[in-house]
Amino acid sequence: MRAESQIEDNHFMLKKTGIALICATFLAGCTTDPYTGQQKVSNTTGGAAIGAAVGALGGLMVGGSSRAQRNAVLIGAGIGALGGGLIGNYMDRQEAELRAQLQGTGVSVTRNGDRIILNMPSNITFDTDQDQVKSQFYPTLNSVAIVLRKFDKTLVDVYGFTDSTGSASYNQALSQRRAASVASYLDSQGIDPRRFAVIGYGASQPIASNATPEGRAQNRRVEIQISPLRGA
């Protein structure tokens, strides 16, 4: 599990196609459960095109919102925070709906305390070396958006990862663009952009060996971490 202080440091803001996304580059420890092989997807409305796709990171500005700042902004906007006694049940119900929506999609759903982690392998999300979400993956992201809209008392951190093939700078930039592309699509489906942080880790967080094709495939991924909007 990534330390919250790391999420709050060294952020950069990306403003593209009407969405303000938070991007960061830093190293952190990470472990992720292997994919579950869940079965049978619940069909949802076909995906709408993002419009101007996130093909390159432009308009970067130093600054951005930390987790605490996002929390404060959302509460100030009238989105009620969760009290300590309500968080567990709220996240339990959200987890159950995500598991139901994402069965058979290739996306795993894991729970780490009060946080829910969605693991999206790049082979179903992006073409090789590309940062545009595959149109075939739109229905899966639509399913994620359905749940995120319903359970809006959460923050949404989108992490991008690559394997070790290529230079560190290339991998970091690609992972960041891919994370931003996923967040942009979710924004296009009505998710409040103030909930997002978008972080590229490059090849720094492998979950398998980069010495084998199978391991490299596992390392190329986007993760969405969903955490509760907490009161003071």
Please identify which residue in the block is written with the tokens 């472990």.
31
Number of domains in the chain: 1
Q: Name the band, by pLDDT with cuts 50, 70 and 90, for residue 121.
A: very high
**Does the residue 14 lie in any domain?**
no
Tell me which amino acid residue 30 is: C
SS3 category, 46: coil
In a domain, 4, yes or no: no
Distance between terminal CA atoms of the chain?
Answer: 22
Q: What is the CA radius of gyration of the chain?
A: 16
Residue 76 maps to which CATH number? 3.30.1330.60
| pLDDT given at position 65 | 61
What local confidence, expressed as pLDDT, does residue 149 receive? 97
What letter represents residue 43's amino acid? Answer: N
User: Which of the residue ranges 41-55, 124-138, 142-156 would you say has the lowest mean pLDDT?
Assistant: 41-55
Residue with tokens 């159950």: 96
The angle, 0 to 180 degrees and rounded to 10, between the axes of the packed helices 84-102 and 138-150 is 160
Full-model pTM = 0.73
Assess if residue 175 is contained within a domain.
yes
- pLDDT in the model for residue 105: 97
Over range 158-173, report the average pLDDT.
Answer: 96
In angstroms, rounded to a whole number, what is the distance separating the alpha carbons of residues 6 and 31?
Answer: 15
Asked if residue 14 lies in contact with residue 60, where contact means CB atoms within 8 angstroms, the answer is yes
Mean pLDDT of 184-205: 94
Residue in the block written with tokens 């509760």: 228
Cβ–Cβ < 8 Å for 156, 186: yes
Domain that holds residue 164: 20-54+70-209+217-228
Q: Is residue 118 part of a domain?
A: yes
- Which residue spans within 128-231 are E strands per DSSP? 154-161, 196-200, 221-228
- pLDDT of 13 higher than 70: no
Whose tokens are 């202080």? That residue is: 5
**Residue 41 domain-assigned (yes or no):** yes
Please tell me whether residue 14 adopts helix, strand or coil conformation: strand
With a cut of 50, say whether residue 8 has pLDDT above it: no
